[in-house]
C-alpha cells in the first residue's frame, strides 16, 4: 500500500472521528478534543493536497533546481491554520472553565438545560412543559400514570 493512500485514509479518519466526537459526546472536554482532532484532519488533508512522495523541500542550493519539489504554499497555509487552531483551543478550554464555575458541570446537555432555564427566568416566562405537548401524548401519559 502506498504512503499517499495511508495518509489520505488517516486524514479522512481524523475528520470523521473528530466530527463524531463533537456530535456524539456530551462532555465538554471531549467535544473540545473532537474539535482538535477535526482540525488536525483538515490540516493533514490540506498538506496532502499537493503531496508528492520523496520530493525534496523547495530550496535551490548552488543553482541546482530539483526536478520535483514539494509545494510550499499548503505548508505555509497549514502553519497559519495550526496557529489559529491552538488559539481557539485555548479559548475553548478557558470558556469551559468559566462554564464549569458558573453551572458546576461540564455535561453539555445539563449546561443547555440550565441555559434555557436562565434565559426563561430572565425573560420571566415558564419553560415549555408537558402542558404544551400535543393532546394525544398527554392522554397517553396520563393513562400510564
Partner 1 sequence: MNNLVLLVALPLITAFLLPVINRVSAFAGRWSGPLILLITSVLGISLWSQLGDSAVAVELGGFRPPLGITLYADQMAILFAVAASLGTLLLWPNGGADPVRQSTLALILAASGSGLALSGDLFNIYVFYELVAVVSYGLIAGKATSGSYAATMRYLVVSSFGAAMALTGIALVYQATGTLNLAQLAQLAPTQLNNIQGLAAFVLMLIGFGVKAELFPVNTWVPEVYATAPTRISALLAGVVSKLALLIIVRLLVLVFHQPEALTVMLVLGIMGVVSGELAAWRARDFKRMLAFSSIGQLGIMFIAFSIPGKAGVFAGLAVALHHLVVKPALFLLAERWSGSISKLAGAAKTSPLAAGLFVLLALSLIGVPPLPGFWAKLLVLVELSQQAQALYYLGAFVILAGAALEANYLFRVASRFYLTEKGQTAPATHRMPELATASLLCAALAGSVLMLTPLAEQIEDIASQAADAAHYIQTVNPETLP
Residues at the contact surface with partner 1, assessed by CB under 8 A? 15, 18-19, 22, 28, 31, 35, 38-39, 41-43, 45-46, 48-50, 71, 73-74, 77, 80-81, 84, 87-88, 91-92, 95-96, 98-99, 102-103, 108, 111-112, 114-115, 118-120, 122-125
Q: How many other C-beta atoms lie within 10 A of the C-beta of residue 127?
A: 11
| Shortest distance (Å) from residue 76 CB to partner 1 | 9
**Which CB, 6 or 95, lies closer to partner 1?**
95
| Shortest distance (Å) from residue 62 CB to partner 1 | 24
- Single out the residue of 37, 54, 42, 55 nearest to residue 8, CA to CA: 42
**Which CB, 3 or 62, lies closer to partner 1?**
3
**Which CB, 19 or 142, lies closer to partner 1?**
19
All cell numbers assigned to 76: 505555509
**Which CB, 94 or 139, lies closer to partner 1?**
94
**61 has which bridge partners?**
64
HSE, CB side, 13 Å, CA atoms: give it for residue 136.
0
The contacts of residue 48 (CB under 8 Å, 6+ apart) are: 4, 7, 8, 11
| Shortest distance (Å) from residue 69 CB to partner 1 | 13
| Shortest distance (Å) from residue 108 CB to partner 1 | 7
The contacts of residue 105 (CB under 8 Å, 6+ apart) are: 111, 114
Amino acid at each position: 500500500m502506498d504512503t499517499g493512500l495511508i495518509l489520505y485514509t488517516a486524514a479522512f479518519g481524523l475528520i470523521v472521528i473528530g466530527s463524531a466526537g463533537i456530535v456524539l459526546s456530551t462532555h465538554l472536554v471531549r467535544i473540545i478534543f473532537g474539535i482538535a482532532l477535526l482540525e488536525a484532519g483538515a490540516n493533514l488533508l490540506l498538506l496532502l493536497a499537493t503531496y508528492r512522495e520523496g520530493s525534496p523541500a523547495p530550496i535551490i542550493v548552488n543553482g541546482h533546481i530539483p526536478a520535483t519539489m514539494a509545494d510550499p504554499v499548503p505548508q505555509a497555509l497549514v502553519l497559519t491554520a495550526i496557529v489559529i487552531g491552538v488559539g481557539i483551543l485555548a479559548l475553548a478550554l478557558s470558556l469551559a472553565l468559566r462554564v464549569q464555575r458558573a453551572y458546576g458541570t461540564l455535561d453539555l446537555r445539563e449546561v443547555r438545560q440550565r441555559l434555557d432555564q436562565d434565559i426563561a427566568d430572565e425573560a420571566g416566562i415558564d419553560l415549555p412543559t408537558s402542558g404544551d405537548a400535543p393532546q394525544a401524548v398527554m392522554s397517553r401519559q396520563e393513562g400510564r400514570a
